[in-house]
Amino acid sequence: MQLPHHRMLRAALLLLAMAWLGAAASAQPGDGALRVGSKRFTESYILAELLAQTAAPHTASPPVVRQGLGNTAIVYEALRSGAIDLYAEYTGTIALEILKGSPADTREAMNAALAPMGLGVAIPLGFNDGYALAVRAADAERLGLRTLSDLAKHPELKLGLSNEFLGRADGWKGLAARYGFTQVPIGLDHGLAYEAVAAKQIDAIDIYTTDAKIEHLGLRVLEDDKKYFPRYDAVVLYRLDLPARLPKAWAALRALEGRIDEHAMIAMNARAELQSVPFDAIARDFLAGTGKGAKTQETRRGFSAKLFGPDLWQLARQHLVLVAVSVGVAILIGVPLAILVFPHVRLRALVLGFASLLQTVPSLALLAVLISMLGAIGALPALIALTLYSLLPIMRNTVTGLAEVPNGLRLAGTALGMTPPQSLRLVLLPLALPTLLAGVRTATAIAIGTATIAAFIGAGGFGERIVTGLALNDRELLLAGALPAAALALLSEGIFELIELAMRRRRRKG
């Protein structure tokens, strides 16, 4: 079957390029904007707002804050690629995770190692936020747990550790070797670990020493008696071109040096995690001189306020754009490609096999790879990932629909003198359309769910609420993100039901 669908394929590729280029343009602000990133935990969210608000009066346009960009690997790649200009990092993490070596003695040594990458360390903020392990105070008293060596003597205790800590160079593997731990820990999100230890589902968790919930939940921080963990002094990791590009903003940022002590950071974390005060309000209060323990004038937001907050329609629009563009481009690429390979059994199996392989790649891993390849965060890598995930159901159902067309109808088209393109357009595709539509329906459902992961790289959507809710262990905020996404999925199912109903009525009339 020879198909004159090269024009359709060319148009699809052109639309794809335009969509991605447009997304890239929107994701990359101009050189006059300061781009601040953060990791996915409370303190990093707050520090990102502090940096942005400090610089804001000295920039031509408001700083762009990319919150909750995932773990160290993702936010560092965003910095290295130029997608962000700076973020708050910790000296121990820089030494062991980024420089892959032992902790440097001085910032000068770190800067010497980072300079070839175009990066630098500056502005020590004034506090140390180290790693530690903590247990319930009652268990510590009952079992005599004071140090990590004491904990290693109780292999019956269950450990729940954050997924990043399990994989870090300065994390679980080295800690277990140093202390002789024999437990096999459970991987948990950092925010959820507190709830799990409070519910006695696990007995020990990794914590940051400035976490607000340590005292709130009555946890005992165990002494690192073998001195495994380095210091994690908070600093700013930045691109070396930033001071020359935005000298006034940089001068303002340098005024933060030494200004935040551990008590102030714990107090700010507590306001976010225990009082549900927005990150920007916490930063604004601190910079105004009311940060240490001052109560915000805003009352704790209830579930309805979180669900119908002012960001609802903006997040809905972002989510819809991600889904509509990615599925639309997947249709324009997947359908012509499936038609093209349909007559060739081996080629068809190869193409569908490759599409199936893409579905097995974890979302965050694919996003991290795309950030590295494209040098961008935000909508661009998110759209590419969602398009790739949408291809398989569309292509597979297109091939299945074409294969289900009875051979007699194919021959009837030929007997009527139809050319192969006419047979495809007038016979095969109309008969395969219900199956093809079912593939688009599946792809849309997958895209709606997967689009929530896009918030990890600053692409927006309802995932922003879910990511922030995980960081704060805020169930209401989690639901405020999950419920609109679920409602969007139900809405799409209803629309496809109406389309299929209309198609059935049209076939009956025909």
Q: Does the predicted model carry a pTM greater than 0.85?
A: no
pLDDT, tens digit (0-9, with 9 covering 90-100), for 430-442? 888 889 999 999 9
407's CB contacts (< 8 A; 6+ apart) are: none
Q: List the one residue out of 460, 467, 453, 457 whose CA is nearest residue 313.
A: 460
Give the whole-angstrom CA distance, residue 427 versus residue 344: 20
Residue 99: other Cβ atoms inside 10 A: 17
Report d(CA 505, CA 510) in Å as an integer.
Answer: 9
CA 197 to chain centre: 25
Q: Where is pLDDT greater, at 359 or 24?
A: 359
Mean pLDDT of 412-422: 71
pLDDT band at 423 (very low <50, low <70, confident <90, very high): confident
CA–CA gap between residue 381 and residue 66 (Å, rounded): 14
pLDDT value, residue 26? 45
Please state, in angstroms and rounded to a whole number, the distance separating the CA atoms of residues 453 and 466: 9
Question: Cβ–Cβ contacts within 10 Å for residue 377, how many?
Answer: 32
Q: What percent of the chain has pLDDT over 90?
A: 55
CA distance 131 to 380: 34
Mean pLDDT of 173-201: 91
pLDDT of residue 413: 65
Beta carbons of 202 and 158 less than 8 angstroms apart = yes
Q: Is the pLDDT of residue 14 over 60?
A: no
- The pLDDT of residue 301 is 67
pLDDT digits 0-9 by tens, 265-298:
999 999 998 888 889 999 999 999 865 444 444 4
Average pLDDT over residues 131-153: 95
The residue ranking higher by pLDDT, 102 or 123, is 123
Q: Dihedral, CA atoms, 121, 126, 129, 135, nearest 10 degrees?
A: 170
Judge: domain 6-10+310-509, CATH 1.10.3720.10: yes
Q: What whole-number percentage of the chain has pLDDT above 70?
A: 90
The confidence band for 306, taking pLDDT boundaries of 50, 70 and 90, is confident
User: Which CATH number is 34-126+232-297's, of 3.40.50.620, 3.40.190.10, 3.10.450.50, 3.40.50.150?
Assistant: 3.40.190.10
Starting at the edge strand that comes first in sequence, how are the strands of the sheet with 204-208 ordered? Answer: 186-188, 159-162, 204-208, 131-136, 219-221
Q: Which residues of 401-421 are buried (b: 16+ CB within 10 A; e: fewer)?
A: bbeebeeeebeebeeeebeee
CA atoms in the 13 A half-sphere facing the CB of 302: 1
Domain 34-126+232-297 identical in fold to domain 131-221 = yes
On the question of pLDDT at 419 being above 80, the answer is no
Q: What is the pLDDT of residues 48-71, one digit of tens each?
A: 999 999 999 999 999 999 988 878
Q: Flag whether pLDDT at 2 surpasses 70.
A: no
Strands 186-188 and 159-162, sheet pairing: parallel
Strands 64-66 and 159-162: unpaired
| Domain range list for the chain | 6-10+310-509, 34-126+232-297, 131-221
**How wide is the angle at C-alpha 387 spanned by C-alphas 372 and 364, nearest 5°?**
45
How confident is the model at residue 8, as a pLDDT?
46
Q: How many residues does the chain have?
A: 510
Report how far residue 182's alpha carbon sits from residue 177's, in angstroms, rounded to the nearest whole number. Answer: 9
Q: What is the architecture of the domain spanning 131-221?
A: 3-Layer(aba) Sandwich (3.40)
Instruction: Identify the band that residue 73 occupies on the pLDDT scale cut at 50, 70 and 90.
Output: confident
- Highest mean predicted confidence (pLDDT) among 29-33, 85-89, 375-379: 85-89
**Statement: residue 5 has pLDDT above 60:** no
233-256, pLDDT tens digit by residue? 999 999 999 999 999 999 999 999
Which residues, in sequence order, are CB contacts of 165 under 8 Å at separation 6+?
131, 171, 172, 206
* Phi, psi (degrees; rounded to nearest 5) at 223: -70, 135
Structure tokens at 479: 């639901």
User: What pLDDT does 509 receive?
Assistant: 75
Which has more pLDDT, 416 or 79? Answer: 79
Angle at 459 between CA 18 and CA 171, to 5 degrees: 130
Average pLDDT over residues 176-184: 94
- The rounded distance, in Å, linking the Cα atoms of 223 and 147 is 4
pLDDT in tens, 441-452: 999 999 999 999
Structure tokens at 349: 């199996």
Mean residue pLDDT of the chain comes to 86
Burial, 302: exposed, middle or buried (Cβ in 10 Å; 0-12, 13-18, 19+)? exposed
- Does residue 23 carry a pLDDT above 50? no
pLDDT(19) > 60: no
Torsion angle of alpha carbons 134, 136, 140, 146, nearest 10°?
Answer: 20
Residue 427 has pLDDT above 80, yes or no: no
Q: Which pLDDT band, with edges at 50, 70 and 90, does 102 fall under? A: low
Between helices 42-55 and 262-275, what is the axis angle to 10°? Answer: 110
- Whether the per-residue pLDDT at 179 is higher than 70: the answer is yes
